[in-house]
Amino acid sequence: MLIAQTAGRFGWSIPDAHTCAATMLLALALLSPSHAYAQSNTPPSEQEIQNWVEQLDDDRFAVREIAQQQLSRQLSSILPKLIELAESPESNASNALLQFLGFVSQDALSQQGKAAFESLNRIAAERTTQKAILAQKILESVSVEMQEQALDRLERVGILVADRHLSVLTQLKDVKNALVIDERFVGTDDDLAMLPWLFDVEFVKLEGPR
């Protein structure tokens, strides 16, 4: 999980027995259906969002996990605020917040995933800041992961990327990393939406009546 990769922050600190028990009870309460329903119907305050973001960088594993769960549950309503915090020049956005946006961006077909990916691209465009360099690394990781997902998904619906011997403008040519969509395609528009993640495709050919 991307959020679990924040550099240098993940040594486990062992709390005393009472603190450990309290943390476990809190985690169970947050995961209960009734609590989740209440959370989804009560938009969090800016202070709550800020607290969860700060807790993503906490030394305690349980605290980080609960913060991530809270942000994930409320994502549809708080993503614009998370993006604002991540992109603001005045904000000292933590590595963990950028990692969380990377985690969200892996849901490539959702509007939330697209928004998170676009935000990381804007941050990465700053180029030389520490935040920009981290965003670039996260984008590289997400891109590799999404390319693998795209290849796997497209293969299941009849689209393969491979070196091929193809007829191009009436001539037979050896083409590297060619993608052919023909009568074997059994997918949907959602499957085709994965095509932009195939960064190394050098040639695309459409065949057949579809």
Confidence at residue 33, expressed as pLDDT on a 0 to 100 scale: 37
pLDDT interval class at 3 (50, 70, 90):
very low
Distance, CA of 82 to CA of 3 (rounded, Å): 14
Count Cβ neighbours within 10 Å for each residue of 128-144 and write b for 16 or more, e otherwise: eeebbebbbbbbeebee
pLDDT > 50? residue 37: no
User: Residue 46 contacts by C-beta under 8 Å, 6 or more apart in sequence?
Assistant: 81
> Which residue type is seen at 152?
D
Q: CA-CA distance, 24 to 30, in Å (whole number)?
A: 10
pLDDT of res. 165: 79
* Contact partners, residue 176, CB within 8 Å, separation at least 6: 163, 202, 203
Alpha-carbon gap, residue 177 to 200, rounded angstroms:
7
Q: What is the pLDDT of residue 40?
A: 52
How far is residue 11's CA from residue 18's CA, in Å, rounded to a whole number?
A: 20
- By DSSP bridging, strand 171-181 and strand 160-168 are antiparallel
Write down the pTM of the prediction.
0.69
pLDDT tens track for 134-191: 999 999 999 999 999 999 999 999 998 888 877 767 778 788 888 888 888 999 999 9
**pLDDT on residue 136:** 95
Residue 74 has pLDDT above 90, yes or no: yes
pLDDT attached to residue 177 = 83
The Cα–Cα gap between 113 and 134 comes to: 18
